Chain A
């Protein structure tokens, strides 16, 4: 029993990590006033690029960095669309999700000549535990950065009242661009953790809605880094529980159990009725 609880605890930490990175990205982005629906795609881009670079260089750390860079690139794409062209952020983000998922599937065939999944590549191995710890450290750091530094105040102001930021002599669009690029980079890191941390390959659909679960965590965590992280741990717990129970209890409906984390996210979304408030200018172009 104790062994089971220990397994569950360890798995919970591992399963929460990629969602935490994406959710922290989501918090920064939404605090600056841009809803990043593209987190899911940016995770896929990070996961895929990490595998490609790890394969080409045989150095997983470079793969990790490349994954972060890939996420940041798509973050920049969304940032430009949201700031310069003032597009509908939701629609643009959905486009990014399809571009990344489709692009990775296309890339698998072009580069490896095999659809569905990449060959196995060098993974981070035991080093991925440092990324698990880093996720929680980052959550704390971000909480401090957002609420106790000048950058944090400015970013939050941009998400609440961009006109006031202009009055202070700053450019909200620049602040939003920074925020969304960081958001993409973090989602890319989460994706790279999935592909070359937890596993050692990319397979189609491997992000499995985690970008959206992260968005649910952002809301459930009331747009606070630590709150969102706590929500991610809850969702990670259900993912881990599903794994552990499947191994332990044969008669459980295995496929239906896989829906557990999604159902948890749905309940969390509905459970915060009227008690949360998004940044006032969240999703509103300036």
Chain B
């Protein structure tokens, strides 16, 4: 916990520094940030939209990370999940509530398949999951752009995007007058389920065992290959579900601007949350403030929003001081 508080202090100091470099006083900068993030109904709504968008991939990353698997492919998994939801949603003809469930499942399956590719490569061939998941980000982005520029492009769409979803497939609004949908509640429920699964189930134990002491885990009868495959699939499915909630709850169509780097920010969220789902919820809210307040800070205080990504990077760098896995050997079958 001390390390997490240190991270927050670091954020404040670095934000102040970024503001001073940009020629804005930290008081003006922070005022712009917090007013922009929490200054009214709409601002709070946008902050919580970012919170839920970060929460899904962060929970997925935490799951894989507990197994000692570093999934930096959440960005691509979000995109594939969103694409599946958007593409199916544009063509679907069934009742509303059922349709929403179908779209969310489609997103989870899409993201899950994307994670499973890396998981299968790791389990079957011993391929490095870090490189594999990152490469898959680019493949996802390129293919998604190809599909929505051509075959999946909406008939009336001006740019590269799918047709709009029928409003009956939109996730219900949580906070009237804002873009906040019940995606936030879904994310919180998922966090609770994962908290329970991580701490109270055999699966959670197996994840940790194979992450922290793979050799001991193997000797105690845990099938590491199967667990690797499963962890990356579930990790991708959770991120993909997140992508589907962005499409059904926020954009109401799929386009390639689905994620402004949520999948990477989510790494910081998962680490600041110490890989524990309930703390991750809190961390996601904190980074949600930075995401939505950052835009306001850029507009009214002329501090480039990108400063936030530098800070996220520094936080990840600092939090690396904790040893996450016992050993990591590349190549070779596990």
> In the complex the two chains form, is A255's CB within 8 Å of B146's CB?
yes
Partner of A91, one of B314, B316, B327, B330: B316
Of B132-140, B187-195, B235-243, the one touching chain A: B132-140
B contact residues around A101 at 8 Å (CB): 309, 313
Partner of A94, one of B72, B127, B142, B146: B72
> In the complex the two chains form, is A255's CB within 8 Å of B142's CB?
yes
Q: A103 vs B131: C-alpha distance in the bound complex, in angstroms?
A: 23
Partner of B328, one of A90, A109, A265, A266: A90
- A119 contacts the other chain (CB 8 A): no
Q: What residue in chain A is nearest B331 (Cβ atoms)?
A: A276
- A270 contacts the other chain (CB 8 A): yes
Q: What residue in chain B is nearest A256 (Cβ atoms)?
A: B146
A contact residues around B18 at 8 Å (CB): 106
- A253 contacts the other chain (CB 8 A): yes
Nearest CB of chain B from residue A192's CB, rounded to whole Å:
21
B contact residues around A285 at 8 Å (CB): 323
> In the complex the two chains form, is A102's CB within 8 Å of B306's CB?
yes
Q: A90 vs B21: C-alpha distance in the bound complex, in angstroms?
A: 30
Partner of B143, one of A97, A259, A269, A277: A259
| A269 and B131 in contact, given A253-B146, A258-B142 (Cβ under 8 angstroms) | yes
> In the complex the two chains form, is B121's CB within 8 Å of A266's CB?
yes
Nearest CB of chain A from residue B156's CB, rounded to whole Å:
21
Q: A35 vs B321: C-alpha distance in the bound complex, in angstroms?
A: 15
| A272 and B322 in contact, given A98-B264, A98-B313, A259-B142 (Cβ under 8 angstroms) | no
> In the complex the two chains form, is A115's CB within 8 Å of B304's CB?
yes
Q: A77 vs B329: C-alpha distance in the bound complex, in angstroms?
A: 22
Number of interface residues of A (CB under 8 A): 61
- A96 contacts the other chain (CB 8 A): yes
Interface of A is mostly: helix
Q: How many CB-defined contacts (below 8 Å) exist between A and B?
A: 186
- B319 contacts the other chain (CB 8 A): yes
Please provide the chain A residues from 1 to 40 with a CB less than 8 Å away from any CB of chain B in the complex: 30, 35, 37
Partner of A256, one of B135, B143, B332: B143
B contact residues around A92 at 8 Å (CB): 316-317, 320
- B128 contacts the other chain (CB 8 A): yes
B contact residues around A256 at 8 Å (CB): 142-143, 146
> In the complex the two chains form, is A269's CB within 8 Å of B121's CB?
yes
Q: Which of A88, A101, A271 has the most CB of B within 10 A?
A: A88
A contact residues around B91 at 8 Å (CB): none
A contact residues around B330 at 8 Å (CB): 30, 35, 219, 278, 282-283
| A88 and B127 in contact, given A35-B330, A102-B307, A106-B307 (Cβ under 8 angstroms) | no
- B333 contacts the other chain (CB 8 A): yes
> In the complex the two chains form, is B142's CB within 8 Å of A95's CB?
no
Q: What residue in chain A is nearest B264 (Cβ atoms)?
A: A98
B contact residues around A87 at 8 Å (CB): 320-323
Nearest CB of chain B from residue A135's CB, rounded to whole Å:
21
B contact residues around A88 at 8 Å (CB): 320-325
Nearest CB of chain A from residue B270's CB, rounded to whole Å:
10
- B271 contacts the other chain (CB 8 A): yes
> In the complex the two chains form, is B329's CB within 8 Å of A278's CB?
yes
Nearest CB of chain A from residue B258's CB, rounded to whole Å:
16
> In the complex the two chains form, is B304's CB within 8 Å of A99's CB?
no
- B203 contacts the other chain (CB 8 A): no
> In the complex the two chains form, is A95's CB within 8 Å of B135's CB?
no
A contact residues around B264 at 8 Å (CB): 98
Please provide the chain B residues from 101 to 136 with a CB less than 8 Å away from any CB of chain A in the complex: 121, 124-128, 130-132, 134-136
Q: A100-B313, A266-B135, A284-B327 are in contact. List 20 more A-B contacts (CB 8 A).
A: A88-B323, A90-B324, A95-B315, A95-B319, A98-B310, A102-B307, A102-B312, A105-B304, A106-B310, A115-B304, A219-B331, A255-B142, A259-B143, A265-B135, A269-B121, A269-B132, A270-B121, A273-B333, A276-B332, A278-B330
What are the nearest 10 A-B pairs in CB distance?
A102-B309, A98-B313, A95-B317, A99-B313, A95-B316, A91-B320, A105-B306, A92-B320, A109-B304, A255-B146
